[in-house]
Amino acid sequence: MHWQVILPLLLFLVIIFGIGIWTNMRVRQSDSFLSDYFLGGREMGGFLLAMTMMATYGSASSFIGGPGVAYNTGLGWVLLAMAQLPAGYFVLMILGKKFAIISRKYEAITLIDFLKARYQSNAIVLLSAVAIIIFLFAAMTAQWVGGARLIESLTGLNYRGALIIFAVAVLVYVIIGGFAAVALTDALQGTVMVIGTIVLLVAVVIEGGGVSAIFADLVAEDPNFISPYGVDGNLTPLYVSTFWILIGIGVIGLPQIAVRAMSYKDAKGMHRAILIGTIGIATVMFGMHLIGVFGRAVMPGIEIGDKVMPTLTLEILPPIVAGIVLAAPMAAIMSTVNALLILVSSTVVKDVYLNFIKPNAPDAEIKRMSFIVTTVVGIAVVLFALNPPEFLIWVNLFAFGGLESAFLWSVVLGLYWKKANKYGAFASMATGLVLYIYIDRFHQHVFGMHTVTIPVVASLLIFIVVSLATQKYTKHQQVF
């Protein structure tokens, strides 16, 4: 046990809990429970929006998995990680004010609300709900595992004990607080992520005797560590470029990110969020992955990739500071998990239950359902995480790809193309999903590109062809 490390972490958790309880008291008094619980009442300003985007996006993969891969791959992996820079500005610019205006007009609270109002199709609602539930389940499992691994390496507890501690801590505050608590704590967690990254990066550079000395060490071990092609030369320009679709521009299709693009208060807030968010994401992605590479020179011989970041922190920094820096991955994981958890439960309650099963459910019942579903989903994920997958980062990226294949075009074309109709959208989503799962299972890296490339391109073509071919059936429909 490293008590001096654990104390600052515990303090951090107590503050997060405090925020959860405080926002819960406010939400309970509110008369628009659904909108407040799941969307925070569209009250977010610029800083809050930037931080919640960044904290939701930056996850266990950025802090635990990513540095581990960078440690074993070299500078090429930092290059790849920097493809995530557009996530800071592109989503907000593309979905932009039009998405914010239209979601207000439709009174949309979830991404599915938007799709439902735009395409008027129950089939699309159901398909979307299924995609969200399956893939976000996978994404959450990855985060749960990351959180447990972190606590494991801190406390020396076994994996299962660590998992249960982590799960209980996260579940309690998400269940009581809802989205408002999630967004508020995201602001704190985002800040912690940025500061933690900077502190650790500086410490690693000092420990290694300066940037030049570190690069000299890396070249001495294997010059390819500093090549953009990666140590084995398998990061080809084509493969790395197609990663842009997955982790850069395709992020528009992630429901947990898109829902945030409808939750801000005003245009001014959006402008500030674009700038702050880009700086935040750049700092965290650049810093954390570079730390992984530099870690190789500073502390060679760490065998498990996921343990690189915690081990470096514990060895290099004084205990109290280490506790503060380790609050960063904790924050990243918690903020991602809670966003996903809220999204899955809003999908079940709002998009499935209220849509299909009981449209006139009274408020008290909706409240009860929301709490119950959030709890049940949370516990189910813990059960899945009991037997952890080997490589954290891939589970998360698998979920990213699946969601993007399904949602990217139905959202973007639904917003900007008048002729987009429900037949095109449904065909496109189904094609994207089926192709993605098929390629991921049987033909990874077709033609040297990332798995997500072909499903995204194919679903675009299908969308356009089918929409154009079925114009006569939907001519009477008025959009916007």
Q: How far is the CB of 443 from another protein (least distance, A)?
A: 25
For residue 94, what are its two tokens? 């593309």
**Exactly one of 206, 267, 304, 446 binds another protein (CB under 8 A); which one?**
267
Q: How far is the CB of 78 from another protein (least distance, A)?
A: 6
- Comparison of 28 and 271: residue with beta carbon closer to another protein: 271
Q: Is 241 in the site for another protein (CB under 8 A)?
A: yes
Interface of this chain with another protein, residues 208 to 227, rule: CB under 8 A: 210-212, 215, 219, 223-227
Interface of this chain with another protein, residues 271 to 300, rule: CB under 8 A: 271-272, 274-275, 278-279, 282, 286
Amino acid 310 reads P
**Exactly one of 26, 268, 368, 443 binds another protein (CB under 8 A); which one?**
268
CB 378 within 8 A of CB 175: yes
Which residues, in sequence order, are CB contacts of 116 under 8 Å at separation 6+?
Answer: 124, 125, 351, 355
Q: How far is the CB of 267 from another protein (least distance, A)?
A: 4
- Comparison of 93 and 446: residue with beta carbon closer to another protein: 93
- Comparison of 12 and 407: residue with beta carbon closer to another protein: 407
Distance of CA 269 to the CA centre of its chain: 21
- Comparison of 79 and 123: residue with beta carbon closer to another protein: 79
Piece of 31-39, 88-96, 194-202, 330-338 that binds another protein (CB under 8 A): 88-96
**Exactly one of 156, 237, 300, 448 binds another protein (CB under 8 A); which one?**
237
Q: Is 98 in the site for another protein (CB under 8 A)?
A: yes
**Exactly one of 27, 60, 64, 75 binds another protein (CB under 8 A); which one?**
75
Enumerate binding residues for another protein (CB under 8 A).
75, 78-79, 82-83, 85-86, 89-90, 93-94, 96-98, 100-101, 104-105, 210-212, 215, 219, 223-229, 237, 241, 244, 248-249, 266-268, 271-272, 274-275, 278-279, 282, 286, 416, 478, 480
